[in-house]
């Protein structure tokens, strides 16, 4: 590829420690910036009553609460995050919303999904796929493909790699502060297609001048 995406050079151990430290402050630091795009992604997913839904990289739990409200008492939402600190914040938010019976949270790595094949109707990822190093992205999407039921859907909210000044500036910081600025713009659309998903729609927006895509895709029915 003529314009390859940047590598993720921080370790998973460093990522866990960093997000544990930030968990109590995350919403204040970047949560407001991500809210608009996360909510548009949730609208695109259109969770329905009775569905089984997984969010990878559930962070501080805002999407988990919205999804749990949408699936109703007959549905269930699962959240996975690499950070125990983030999971604890999410658990507190879920309990305050009175939705604990509809939610199961687990600390774990999205590259090693602890779920059976064909378990979920839908999957949500918001500013998470770009946290995985380049060789891991196909592995993550392969496992997601397996975890979804036939014709199951996925929504990915992600920064997009484009030849723009804002992207180059952001990548400069990513290269020099690999723990604090560990995500980076990727070719999410291409990666989803390579993993066997059919793209249903894609919206392009801008966050601080950085291109952001909201991609809706489906696992082919087989």
Q: What is the pLDDT along the chain (222 residues), one digit of tens a residue?
A: 578 999 999 999 999 999 999 999 888 888 778 999 999 999 999 999 999 999 999 999 999 999 999 999 999 999 999 999 999 999 999 999 999 999 999 999 999 999 999 999 999 999 999 999 999 999 999 999 999 999 999 999 999 999 999 999 999 999 999 999 999 999 999 999 999 999 999 999 999 999 999 999 999 876
Tokens standing for residue 174: 């990513």
Q: How far apart are CA 42 and CA 157, in angstroms?
A: 9
pLDDT at 220: 82
Q: How far apart are CA 102 and CA 147, in angstroms?
A: 19
Helix residue spans in 136-206 (DSSP H)? 136-147, 165-176, 188-194
Domains, the chain, ordered by start:
12-219 (3.40.50.150)
pLDDT at 222: 61
Give residues with Cβ within 8 angstroms of 67, minimum separation 6.
42, 45, 47, 53, 55, 77, 124
């Amino acid at each position: 590829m003529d314009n390859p995406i940047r590598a993720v050079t921080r370790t998973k151990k460093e990522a866990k420690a960093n997000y544990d430290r930030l968990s109590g402050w995350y919403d204040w630091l970047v949560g407001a910036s991500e809210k608009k795009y996360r909510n548009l992604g949730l609208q695109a997913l259109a969770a329905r009553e009775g569905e089984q839904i997984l969010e990878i990289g559930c962070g501080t739990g805002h999407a988990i609460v919205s999804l749990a409200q949408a699936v109703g008492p007959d549905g269930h939402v699962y959240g996975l995050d690499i950070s125990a600190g983030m999971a604890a914040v999410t658990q507190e938010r879920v309990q305050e919303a009175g939705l604990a019976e509809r939610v199961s949270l687990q600390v774990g790595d999205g590259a090693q999904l602890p779920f059976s094949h064909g378990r979920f109707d839908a999957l949500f990822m918001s500013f998470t796929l770009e946290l995985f190093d380049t060789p891991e992205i196909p592995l993550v999407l392969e496992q997601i493909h397996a975890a979804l039921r036939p014709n199951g859907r996925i929504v990915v909210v992600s920064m997009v790699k484009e030849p723009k000044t804002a992207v180059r500036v952001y990548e400069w910081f990513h290269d020099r502060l690999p723990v604090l600025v560990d995500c980076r713009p990727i070719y999410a659309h291409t990666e989803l297609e390579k993993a066997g998903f059919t793209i249903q729609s894609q919206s392009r927006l801008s966050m601080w001048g950085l291109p952001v895509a909201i991609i809706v895709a489906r696992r082919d029915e087989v």
